[in-house]
Copies of this chain bind each other. A is one copy, B any other.
Amino acid sequence: MVAYMNEEALKLTIETGVATYYSRSRKKLWKKGEQSGHIQKVEQILVDCDQDCLVLKVSVDAGQCHVGYDSCFYRAVKKGEPEKLEFIAEKTYDPEEAYGNKG
């Protein structure tokens, strides 16, 4: 998945070992999994050459994409038919159950 962090999100991620991002649309910190329960345990934080991007290596229990896959990148541009996408992964959890009304 791809998400944004601000300074506080990065600080919390390092301190707690659980990935926390900054939601630009909601303008607030966003602990991934706070609704679905699918938190990301951070194993390693990689930093890029010009220090404006990070790669978080994480472990998740069931999955993390809100659609139900391990990865948000569950589709690929089809070779020879680039206007089509093909599914390259299987769902690992039921998003209805994770995000639905829990009473």
Contacts and interface: CB of A to CB of B under 8 A. Distances in A.
Given A14-B82, A82-B14, A74 B45 contact: no
Contacts of A74: 46, 49
Given A2-B53, A14-B82, A47 B65 contact: no
Contacts of A69: 49
A48 B1 contact: yes
Interface of A: 1-2, 14, 44-50, 53, 55, 65-67, 69, 72-77, 82, 85, 88
Given A45-B77, A49-B65, 6 more contacts: A44-B76, A47-B75, A47-B77, A47-B85, A49-B66, A50-B72
